[in-house]
Amino acid sequence: MDDQTTDKRKPVMPDPILDDREYEELDDLTKRYEKLTTPGLLCALARRL
């Protein structure tokens, strides 16, 4: 194989990988996930019984 053929096969990586909008979406998803995984009001009430 020559160099031209191998160059065509290399994937092009975007720079930057994530943009500002995606960072904001990741922050929102992280907050939603943490809210879903933390014990809620019913769990606290069940512990008191």
Q: What is the pLDDT of residues 15-42, one digit of tens each?
A: 888 899 999 999 999 999 999 988 888 8
Predicted confidence at residue 5, as pLDDT, reads: 56
Predicted confidence at residue 2, as pLDDT, reads: 53
Q: Which residue has the tokens 């069940």?
A: 46
User: What single string gives the DSSP state of each residue in 21-39?
Assistant: HHHHHHHHHHHHHHHHHS-
Cβ neighbours for 26, distance < 8 A, ≥ 6 positions apart: 18
pTM summary value: 0.55
